[in-house]
Amino acid sequence: MFTDVLSRLGLSEINPGAFARDWLKCHGPELVSLNPATGQPLGKVVTATHDEYETVIRTASESFLKWRLLPPPQRGEIIRQIGMSLRQHKADLGLLVTLETGKILTEGQGEVQEMIDMCDYAVGLSRQLFGLTMASERPSHRMFEQWHPLGPVGIITAFNFPVAVWAWNAAVAGVCGDSCVWKPSSNTPLTAIAVQQITNQVLKQHDLNGCFTLCIGSGSTIGQWLAEDRRLPLISATGSCHMGRRLAQTVAGRLGRSLLELGGNNGIIVTETANLELALRAVTFAAVGTAGQRCTSLRRLFLQQSIADEFLERLVAIYGQIRIGNPWDANVLLGPLISEQAVADMLHAMATAEGQGGKVLTGGHRLNRPGNFVEPTIIRATSGMSIVREETFAPILYVMTYEDLDQVIQIHNSVDQGLSSAIFTDRLMDAEKFLSPAGSDCGIANVNIGTSGAEIGGAFGGEKETGGGREAGSDSWKAYMRRQTCTINYGSDLPLAQGVTFDVN
């Protein structure tokens, strides 16, 4: 049914799972990519063995030596051309994202747009990799810092943003002068191969094949090898807290750097002064969008007692109108979950919530049709329920009520994760309190905007078990470079700092 789009993106029925300077003939286990809306295979990928992994890493290491010497604006020009190529393939690649992840068409297209935006951003950045000049206390001395490329970097991505997160990392790492090794999620290998093909078209013209490489396989093989590999000074990893905890220990064990973008447990507080119309729309998109499978999806909703009943009644009515179906159909708002396991996890979480005293207000069922379809679900909960502290990657919204803002901010902050947060209020003092040092403890804090849907340019990431990483904006580029502090003596004396003298005569 979708064979045209697959072939236009250079995908066949069986695809090689590794690209070094060229596609490698791979010999690892076969991986079947399934369409989560039908359960039918989209294509197969032969994953990489350790030998093929070695070829990829050697290539990325060699390519780095050449790539790091290109002036950053010239690297920016290559990224600009990749962005242009992505523009040409936006419709096809967006549809493939939809087919492989189950996210609705507008979100699939939006994800490719995010890659394009990231490329544009990185082009500008390529002329702005600034260092500082500091005042030296020593006469006739000049002190400054400069930023150099770091090395080949490993990029491990999650299934739910199968291409945008690669661009967050690769576009920035690329202009910073790093070569890249990408290990995508085993749920989304085809989108990764398609992106690699699009990138290759540009790289080949400039004899730069090998600067952006790909290695497909499981987390316990390729992912673990990347984490252990001393040739890779940085591993940027996106995924669950469980994965990040394990990976960070391995990378730290070799004193490497890790850049972690892990799970969230995001909350919105709605105060009685809020524009309820706005809040209802934002809550619905944040909780139901991408079938609750964004790291920034809304999981916990705190309603001020006086507006709770009205808000919930209206929210339940809106949930009743959510159109569930094939994600490539234009009017659909909710597609499937990524896998059978994800459905099982959702049903398990709901049963646990009910066991802990939660009350399902709407939803709660798997749909009786092929694919991994579930109803979006609202559960009346209390903050004492332990399930509320966990990230279940599905459209379950736990709703709680509160009286006092200070108290609810404390409850909001009491979970282990710290990614995204929001308050809806028309009262300036409440908004500012939420943004103050005593307010939200998350990496992202919004006022009158939902928790999901961040734009590039701002540093994206979260605190606590979300991992502390920042990507895609502000000064996040510094993670992909090494800082060098340089001091030049242009005098004929050798004064020491701190007034220290050390005269031999």
The footprint of ligand NAD (CB under 6 A) covers 156-161, 183, 185-186, 218-220, 223-224, 227, 238-240, 243, 246-247, 261-264, 295, 391, 393, 419, 466
Which backbone phi and psi does 411 adopt, to 5 degrees? Answer: -65, -45
User: In one letter, which amino acid is 213?
Assistant: T
Cβ neighbors of 164 (< 8 A, separation 6 or more) are 111, 112, 114, 115, 118
Q: Which amino acid is at 317?
A: A
CB of 20 to ligand NAD, least distance (A): 19
Q: Collapse the DSSP code of 147 into the 3-class scheme (helix H, G, I; strand E, B; otherwise coil) and give the result.
A: strand
Nearer CB in complex with ligand NAD: 261/430: 261
Task: In angstroms, give the least distance from the CB of 310 to ligand NAD.
Answer: 31
β-strand partners of 334 = 324
Task: Return the number of the residue (263 or 364) whose C-beta is nearest ligand NAD.
Answer: 263
| The two structure tokens encoding residue 262 | 């892990």
Q: Which two tokens stand for residue 252?
A: 């730290």
State which residue, 377 or 451, has the beta carbon closest to ligand NAD. Answer: 451
Q: Residue 162 has which token pair?
A: 């199968």
Max Cα–Cα distance, the chain, nearest Å:
92
Whether the CB-CB separation of 145 and 486 falls below 8 Å is answered with yes
Which of 149, 263 has the CB closer to ligand NAD?
Answer: 263
| Helices 72-88 and 90-101: angle between axes, nearest 10 degrees | 80
**CB of residue 76 vs ligand NAD: minimum separation in angstroms?**
24
Complex with ligand NAD: residue 175 or 262, whichever CB lies closer: 262
**Angle between the N-to-C axes of helices 428-435 and 405-412, in degrees from 0 to 180, rounded to the nearest 10:** 30
- Residue 156, judged by CB atoms within 10 A of its CB (0-12, 13-18, 19+), counts as buried
436 by DSSP, 3-state: which?
coil
**DSSP string of 295-344, one letter each residue:** TT-EEEEEEEHHHHHHHHHHHHHHHTTPPBS-TTSTT--B---S-HHHHH
d(CA 60, CA 44): 25
Catalytic (active-site) positions:
261, 295
Could you give the CA distance from residue 87 to residue 466 in angstroms, rounded to a whole number? 32
In the chain, the amino acid numbered 436 is S
Query: Using CA atoms in the order 183, 185, 188, 190, what is the torsion angle rounded to 10 degrees?
Result: 20
C-beta of 15 vs 271, nearer to ligand NAD? 15
CB of 91 to ligand NAD, least distance (A): 24
C-beta closer to ligand NAD: residue 192 or 315 = 192
Contact indicator for 102, 83 with CB cutoff of 8 Å: no
